[in-house]
Amino acid sequence: MNRGNSAPNLSGDGESSSVARNSVGKLNFRNVIASPEDPVETWPLEAIEAALHRGSLHYWRRLAKAIQADPWGTVARNVEHVLSYSRPYGVAPVMDQAIANARSAQLAES
C-alpha cells in the first residue's frame, strides 16, 4: 500500500506480482533492434522510452530492478533522461522515486 511520499512497491514481491504477470500485455518496440525480453541493460534509449510510455508493471519492475542494482548506471541515466523531457502518466513519479531511493541507499552504504 502506498502511503505518504513512499513510492509504490515495484519489487515484484507478494501477491500482486503474480496477478500482474498473468495480465501483462506484450510490449513491442518500434524502430529498435532489441526485444522487450532482452535484459533492460541492453535496451537503447528509445526502448526505455517505449517501456515507460507503453509498457506495463512487468517492464517497469525490470527497469526499477536495474536501477536498484546500479543507481548511476546506463539504465538509471537513460530513465532519468527520458523523464527530463517526457512524463509518462503514473510511472514518471514512481521512476523518479526509484532512482532517488536507489541512489540514497547506495550513498548510505558508502
For 3-32, write each residue's pLDDT tens digit.
444 455 555 544 333 333 444 568 999 889
* Assigned domain for 78 exists: yes
CA dist 79 and 81 (Å) reads: 5
Q: Are 46 and 33 in contact (CB under 8 A)?
A: no
Query: Which residues constitute the domain of residue 70?
Result: 37-109
pLDDT of residue 9: 57
Query: Looking at the domain assignment, is residue 7 inside a domain?
Result: no
- Is 86 domain-assigned? yes
Q: What is the rounded average pLDDT for all residues in the chain?
A: 85
pTM for the structure as a whole:
0.78
**Does residue 41 lie in a domain region?**
yes
54 to each of 31, 47, 59, 101, how far by Cα in Å? 14, 10, 10, 24
Number of domains the chain is built from? 1
Phi, then psi, of 7 in degrees rounded to 5:
-80, 150
Asked whether residue 23 is assigned to any structural domain, the reply reads: no
Q: What is the dihedral of CA 33, 80, 69, 104, to 10 degrees?
A: 180
